[in-house]
């Protein structure tokens, strides 16, 4: 009940949270009536404990959309869960002496409390926790299905080894040659590991990006680049004196006549075989040196080309020339065939190599006369190219590929940069790989009825400590087993799966989270999928989003779900920043400052000394603290380690959840980063307080009003009625387009208009009607306050009432403000009737005194009239 004149969020908010719980608001049910469905999903988090406002931004947006769709009568699915396997739990266990499971569940509990304090509603009956056997059982199930179809396989190769994590990493998890989590330089190790054959889906993962108009262009571009499709040809060069070929891939087979040497990756399998005795020592030294180098070192060398001749020659099948075969680390073993034909005339890297080692350079494409560069990469007529001479790039390509196919030398080929996904991890806190190694039968899958293969309990937390071998290998009770085929003694695989497997299909599990016989019922999944709006951080643009698309396509192919893409709409929200005390500084002279302590300064990549001008430009502020010291403050992404997070619990208890929600949503467009400030909070408070008072201060009069009848519209009511419907339209469209900041601005405008109206007309039936619509429009943004005020007039939830319907006719005003321009400059304004004829309007416009001044004595060349808006009178100068 509204009993005071004071908006008191911490009193009213818990009441409505309890109420929503009681009425089961946003509990998802598959519609039986043909109502539209809306699957609103936020990226599930790693359960890291206490949440700050930075964590809450995307959950707030998801909650808003879920409530909005629910008001519109959709069947809404708005679930939540926990990406609970992974390294932080292991690290915490080693540090704090708590088991990964206990640590994880304690964090989940704490995070849940923060979410409910913010009034964020999920259908908790569908909660998914990936570290529970009833979830990861289905990781194993999907893995076995992939294995059956040849999409999960074991391979020995050089893999990325993280020396800190003591585990292998997928290519996607190596950034700038360093482990994505540990930051350690990644080493190459030859190991036999499990892979998922995502490359089989490369083409579909690429093409289907075009079917996702509601994805950010940026994310699609990143995925396209990662998949890295290139079209060309693969063909062979005979090695002189050996009964073997070097296969190469090239996107420019048309330049083959200019191939004056070849280069193999140092790791190429033919290197040892073709190296001549007198070059053997040099080659072996180079190969060994390459192996010692990390990826980062390879990049740091500023691309200065290095290489060694193998002593071998190959035969250029087009020119017939004998060309030397070199090895060099600028050719990568993992791409294409690990060998290239070098065409220095048309490739900058080959040019540099040829220049450095004095190799022949032949141009096979005629550059334009003004061309002054080295290698020429663009189109032009072919030269020095036998039967290709005179042909342009595309024609030459087609011609040479046809020739290669005729001659049996090679064929057209498409290559992808995408590699198969290495999923084995030598860690404890993950899904055991459901495979058995039997001496007589080889690799045997665990039968479906024996799933899940459960993680054994730890005897001692120290077992988790990275040793380069899976901790499960120290658990005989885990790995000792019988072969499902011959019943002989066998050994389980002791590696666990990459935790990105867990997040690659969790959105499907939500559609049927308690199923015990399948990962999910295909009917239920097909009802809800695809996700209509997915919200999360752009940092998942490649890894998680690509893997999820791959899994969905696979599950689609085996008939588990109709959708072939998981996420119809994707939104990547901007981060929340908080003001951060970077550290104490001292002034150097009049215009520079220097940090006294290094801690946060280095982490935020701020130089130790900088000018005041640079500091100002970077958005920093100098603040004098109470003890007289000067500190450098700067906005930075909220995080636990920077200590700049506004914690949810304390904030909500002191200020209120609705205030936090409005602060987050109004400060900036949601895709931009926003800075959390006290002023922003103040503004949100003022706004909600005004809404509260709009109702509370006029409660008795409001309740005394009868129902509003739009047929009896008073002349004095037209303005407000129009504004109301403009706002209904604007707010509806803005929410659908995720423009929450402008939706709130429109609500503020309507609030101002309501205030003006009441001052003039008092509380009328229209006023009451508009106030009630206002509460409905406000409800997705500030649900507690809207529900509180709504209940003064109704006995059921505002979220159960149908979304206000738009009266299109109300949008058309009967008077409008005509803008009069003379030669494109605004010279006057006048209010005219919408029914006025064009002639009348032109006459009225010319009568305006200021317009007169600008047209008098001048010839009017023409007049342009935009009905309902503007008249431009163009005069001759």
Partner RNA sequence: GCCGGGAUGGCGGAAUGGUAGACGCUACGGACUUAAAAUCCGUUGCCCGCAAGGGCGUGUGGGUUCGACUCCCAUUCCCGGCACCA
Between 234 and 568, name the residue whose CB sits nearer to RNA: 234
Q: What is the DSSP letter of 611?
A: E
> Who's near 439: CB < 8 A, 6+ residues apart?
488, 489, 490
State the minimum distance, in angstroms, from the CB of residue 45 to RNA. 20
In 127-229, the DSSP E strands lie at 128-129, 152-162, 167-169, 174-175, 178-179, 187-196
> Looking only at residues 853 through 872 of this chain, which bind RNA when binding is defined by CB under 7 A?
853-854, 862, 864, 866, 869-870, 872
Between 122 and 215, name the residue whose CB sits nearer to RNA: 215
Q: Which of 458, 372, 399 is nearest to 94 (CA)?
A: 458
Instruction: Determine the Cα angle at 339 with ends 338 and 342, to 5°.
Output: 145
Instruction: Determine the Cα angle at 748 with ends 732 and 635, to 5°.
Output: 95
Q: Which of 202, 162, 133, 649 is nearest to 434 (CA)?
A: 133
> Looking only at residues 283 through 322 of this chain, which bind RNA when binding is defined by CB under 7 A?
298-299, 301, 303, 305
**What whole-number distance in Å separates Cα of residue 510 and Cα of residue 545?**
17
Q: Are strands 480-482 and 128-129 parallel, antiparallel or unpaired?
A: unpaired
Using the rule CB under 7 A, which residue among 121, 252, 549, 791 binds RNA? 252
Q: Which stretch binds RNA (CB under 7 A): 73-81, 100-108, 815-823, 833-841?
A: 815-823
> Looking only at residues 45 through 74 of this chain, which bind RNA when binding is defined by CB under 7 A?
none
> Looking only at residues 687 through 706 of this chain, which bind RNA when binding is defined by CB under 7 A?
687, 689-690
**What whole-number distance in Å separates Cα of residue 249 and Cα of residue 233?**
6
Between 94 and 699, name the residue whose CB sits nearer to RNA: 699
> Looking only at residues 494 through 553 of this chain, which bind RNA when binding is defined by CB under 7 A?
538
**What whole-number distance in Å separates Cα of residue 789 and Cα of residue 492?**
61
Q: Which stretch binds RNA (CB under 7 A): 33-41, 72-80, 709-717, 848-856?
A: 848-856
State the minimum distance, in angstroms, from the CB of residue 416 to RNA. 9
Between 184 and 668, name the residue whose CB sits nearer to RNA: 668
Binding mask 149-188 for RNA (x = CB under 7 A): --------------------------xx------------
Longest pairwise C-alpha distance within the chain: 109
**What whole-number distance in Å separates Cα of residue 717 and Cα of residue 73?**
30
> Looking only at residues 651 through 680 of this chain, which bind RNA when binding is defined by CB under 7 A?
666-669, 672-675, 677, 679-680
Should residue 378 be labelled a site residue for RNA when binding is judged by CB under 7 A?
no
Q: Are strands 825-833 and 609-611 parallel, antiparallel or unpaired?
A: unpaired
Between 713 and 826, name the residue whose CB sits nearer to RNA: 826
How many CA atoms within 13 Å lie on the side-chain side of 220?
17
**What whole-number distance in Å separates Cα of residue 187 and Cα of residue 159?**
8
Q: 310 vs 163, 270, 329, 332, 361, CA distance in Å?
A: 33, 10, 14, 17, 19
Between 112 and 349, name the residue whose CB sits nearer to RNA: 349
Q: Which stretch binds RNA (CB under 7 A): 136-144, 336-344, 501-509, 792-800?
A: 336-344
Should residue 825 be labelled a site residue for RNA when binding is judged by CB under 7 A?
yes
Between 441 and 745, name the residue whose CB sits nearer to RNA: 745
Across 505-514, b (16+ Cβ under 10 Å) vs e yields bbbbbbbbbe
Should residue 336 be labelled a site residue for RNA when binding is judged by CB under 7 A?
yes
Using the rule CB under 7 A, which residue among 164, 612, 819, 860 binds RNA? 819
Should residue 738 be labelled a site residue for RNA when binding is judged by CB under 7 A?
no
Using the rule CB under 7 A, which residue among 705, 741, 761, 830 binds RNA? 741
> Looking only at residues 403 through 462 of this chain, which bind RNA when binding is defined by CB under 7 A?
415, 417
State the minimum distance, in angstroms, from the CB of residue 386 to RNA. 20
Using the rule CB under 7 A, which residue among 132, 185, 745, 813 binds RNA? 745
Should residue 850 be labelled a site residue for RNA when binding is judged by CB under 7 A?
yes
Should residue 269 be labelled a site residue for RNA when binding is judged by CB under 7 A?
no
Using the rule CB under 7 A, which residue among 35, 221, 288, 812 binds RNA? 221
Should residue 749 be labelled a site residue for RNA when binding is judged by CB under 7 A?
yes
Using the rule CB under 7 A, which residue among 14, 73, 163, 228 binds RNA? 228
Using the rule CB under 7 A, which residue among 823, 832, 836, 842 binds RNA? 823
> How is the beta sheet containing 421-422 ordered, strand by strand?
167-169, 152-162, 187-196, 421-422
Q: Which stretch binds RNA (CB under 7 A): 9-17, 77-85, 334-342, 786-794?
A: 334-342
Q: Which stretch binds RNA (CB under 7 A): 83-91, 225-233, 317-325, 509-517?
A: 225-233
What are the tokens at 822? 């003379």
How many CA atoms within 13 Å lie on the side-chain side of 198?
29
Between 719 and 765, name the residue whose CB sits nearer to RNA: 719
Between 341 and 561, name the residue whose CB sits nearer to RNA: 341
> Who's near 33: CB < 8 A, 6+ residues apart?
none
Task: Determine contact, residues 767/756, Cβ cutoff 8 Å.
Answer: no
Between 338 and 445, name the residue whose CB sits nearer to RNA: 338
Should residue 340 be labelled a site residue for RNA when binding is judged by CB under 7 A?
yes
Let me know if 278 is exposed, middle or buried by CB neighbors in 10 A (0-12, 13-18, 19+). exposed
Between 297 and 586, name the residue whose CB sits nearer to RNA: 297
Using the rule CB under 7 A, which residue among 185, 191, 222, 361 binds RNA? 222
Between 462 and 756, name the residue whose CB sits nearer to RNA: 756
Q: Which stretch binds RNA (CB under 7 A): 315-323, 580-588, 742-750, 801-809?
A: 742-750
Should residue 834 be labelled a site residue for RNA when binding is judged by CB under 7 A?
no
Should residue 578 be labelled a site residue for RNA when binding is judged by CB under 7 A?
no
Across 646-674, b (16+ Cβ under 10 Å) vs e yields bebeebbeebbbbbbbbbbbbbbebeeeb
Between 137 and 827, name the residue whose CB sits nearer to RNA: 827
Site size with RNA, rule: CB under 7 A? 81
State the minimum distance, in angstroms, from the CB of residue 536 to RNA. 15
Should residue 616 be labelled a site residue for RNA when binding is judged by CB under 7 A?
no
> Looking only at residues 111 through 130 of this chain, which bind RNA when binding is defined by CB under 7 A?
none
What are the tokens at 688? 């909600």
Between 144 and 340, name the residue whose CB sits nearer to RNA: 340
Task: Determine contact, residues 169/179, Cβ cutoff 8 Å.
Answer: yes
**What whole-number distance in Å separates Cα of residue 309 and Cα of residue 285?**
12
Task: Determine contact, residues 54/638, Cβ cutoff 8 Å.
Answer: yes
Q: Which stretch binds RNA (CB under 7 A): 15-23, 51-59, 204-212, 339-347?
A: 339-347
Q: Which of 92, 85, 69, 86 is nearest to 128 (CA)?
A: 85
What are the φ/ψ torsions at residue 272 (nearest 5 degrees)? -65, -40
Can you list the alpha helix ranges (DSSP code H) found in 697-792? 699-704, 718-736, 740-761, 765-778, 783-790
Task: Determine contact, residues 452/136, Cβ cutoff 8 Å.
Answer: yes
Between 298 and 491, name the residue whose CB sits nearer to RNA: 298
103-112 own/partner pairs: CB under 8 Å, 24+ apart: 104/47, 104/131, 106/49, 107/47, 107/48, 107/49, 108/47, 108/82, 108/84, 110/49, 110/50, 110/51, 111/45, 111/47, 111/48, 111/49, 111/50, 111/51, 111/82
Using the rule CB under 7 A, which residue among 104, 111, 140, 250 binds RNA? 250
State the minimum distance, in angstroms, from the CB of residue 739 to RNA. 6
């Amino acid at each position: 009940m509204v009993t005071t004149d004071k908006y008191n969020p911490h009193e009213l908010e818990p009441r409505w949270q309890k109420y929503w719980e009681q009425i089961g608001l946003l509990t998802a049910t598959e519609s039986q009536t043909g109502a539209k469905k809306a699957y609103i999903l936020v990226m599930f988090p790693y359960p890291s404990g206490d949440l700050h406002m930075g964590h809450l931004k995307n959950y707030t947006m998801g909650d808003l959309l879920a409530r909005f769709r629910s008001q519109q009568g959709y069947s809404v699915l708005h679930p939540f869960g926990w990406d609970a396997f992974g390294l932080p739990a292991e690290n915490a266990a080693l540090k704090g002496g708590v088991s990964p499971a206990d640590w994880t569940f304690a964090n989940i509990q704490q995070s849940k409390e923060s979410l409910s304090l913010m009034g964020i509603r999920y259908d908790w009956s569908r909660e998914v926790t990936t570290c529970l056997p009833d979830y990861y059982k289905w990781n194993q199930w999907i893995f076995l299905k992939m294995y059956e179809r040849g999409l999960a396989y074991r391979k020995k190769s050089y893999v990325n080894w993280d020396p800190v994590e003591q585990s292998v990493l997928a290519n996607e998890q190596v950034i700038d040659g360093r482990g994505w989590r540990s930051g350690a330089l990644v080493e190459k190790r030859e190991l036999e590991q499990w892979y998922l054959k995502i490359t089989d889906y490369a083409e579909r993962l690429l093409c289907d990006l075009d079917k996702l108009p509601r994805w950010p262009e940026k994310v699609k571009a990143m995925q396209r680049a990662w998949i890295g499709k290139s079209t060309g040809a693969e063909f062979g060069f005979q090695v002189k004196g050996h009964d073997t070929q070097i296969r190469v891939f090239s996107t420019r087979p048309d330049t083959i006549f200019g191939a004056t040497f070849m280069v193999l990756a140092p790791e190429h399998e033919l290197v040892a075989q073709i190296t001549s005795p007198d070059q053997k020592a040099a080659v072996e030294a180079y190969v060994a040196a390459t192996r010692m180098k990390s990826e980062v070192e390879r990049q740091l060398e500023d691309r200065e080309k290095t290489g060694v001749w193998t002593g071998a020659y190959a035969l250029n099948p087009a020119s017939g020339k004998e060309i030397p075969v070199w090895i060099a680390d600028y050719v990568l073993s993992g791409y294409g065939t690990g060998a290239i034909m070098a065409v220095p005339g048309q490739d900058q890297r080959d040019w540099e190599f040829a220049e450095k080692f004095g190799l022949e350079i032949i141009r096979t494409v005629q550059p334009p006369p003004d061309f002054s560069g080295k290698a020429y990469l663009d189109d032009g007529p072919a030269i020095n190219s036998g039967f290709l001479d005179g042909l342009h790039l595309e024609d030459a390509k087609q011609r040479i590929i046809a020739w290669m196919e005729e001659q049996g030398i090679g064929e057209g080929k498409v290559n992808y940069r995408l590699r198969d996904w290495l999923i084995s991890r030598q860690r404890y806190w993950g899904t055991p790989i459901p495979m058995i190694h039997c001496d007589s039968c080889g690799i045997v899958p665990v039968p479906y009825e024996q799933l899940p293969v459960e993680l054994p309990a730890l005897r001692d937390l120290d077992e988790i400590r990275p040793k380069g071998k899976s901790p499960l290998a120290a658990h005989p009770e885990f790995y000792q087993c019988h072969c499902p085929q011959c019943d002989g003694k066998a050994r389980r695989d002791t590696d666990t799966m990459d935790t990105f497997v867990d997040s690659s299909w969790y959105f499907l599990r939500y559609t049927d989270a308690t199923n015990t016989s399948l990962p999910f019922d295909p009917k239920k999944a097909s009802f809800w999928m695809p996700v209509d709006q997915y919200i999360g951080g752009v940092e998942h643009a490649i890894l998680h989003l690509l893997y999820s698309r791959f899994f969905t396509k696979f599950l689609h192919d085996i008939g588990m779900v109709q959708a072939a893409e998981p996420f119809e709409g994707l939104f990547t929200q901007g981060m929340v920043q908080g003001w951060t005390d970077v550290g104490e500084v001292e002034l150097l002279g009049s215009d520079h400052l220097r940090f006294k302590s290094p801690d946060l300064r280095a982490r935020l990549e701020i130089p130790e000394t900088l000018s005041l001008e640079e500091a100002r430009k970077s958005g920093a502020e100098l603040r004098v603290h109470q003890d007289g010291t000067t500190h450098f403050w700067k906005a930075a992404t909220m995080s636990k380690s920077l200590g700049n997070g506004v914690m949810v619990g304390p904030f909500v208890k002191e200020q209120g959840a609705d205030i936090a929600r409005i602060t987050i949503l109004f400060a900036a467009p949601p895709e931009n980063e926003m800075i959390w400030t006290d002023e922003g909070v103040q503004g949100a408070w003022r706004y909600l307080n005004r809404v509260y008072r709009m109702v509370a201060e006029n409660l008795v009069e409001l309740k005394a009003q009868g129902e509003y009848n739009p047929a009896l519209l008073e002349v004095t009511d037209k303005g407000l009625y129009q504004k109301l419907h403009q706002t209904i339209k604007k707010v509806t469209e803005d929410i659908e387009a995720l423009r929450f900041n402008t939706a709130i601005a429109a609500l503020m405008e309507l609030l101002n208009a309501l205030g003006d109206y009441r001052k003039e007309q008092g509380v009328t039936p229209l006023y009451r009607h508009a106030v009630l619509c206002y509460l409905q429009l406000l409800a997705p943004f500030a649900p507690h306050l809207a529900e509180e005020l709504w209940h003064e007039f109704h006995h059921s939830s505002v979220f159960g009432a149908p979304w206000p319907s738009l009266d299109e006719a109300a949008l058309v005003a009967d008077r409008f403000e005509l803008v009069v321009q003379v030669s494109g400059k605004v010279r006057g304004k006048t209010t005219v009737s919408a029914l006025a004829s064009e002639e009348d309007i032109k006459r009225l416009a010319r009568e305006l005194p200021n317009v007169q001044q600008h047209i008098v004595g001048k010839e009017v060349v023409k007049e342009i009239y935009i009905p309902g808006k503007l008249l431009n009178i163009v005069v001759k100068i």
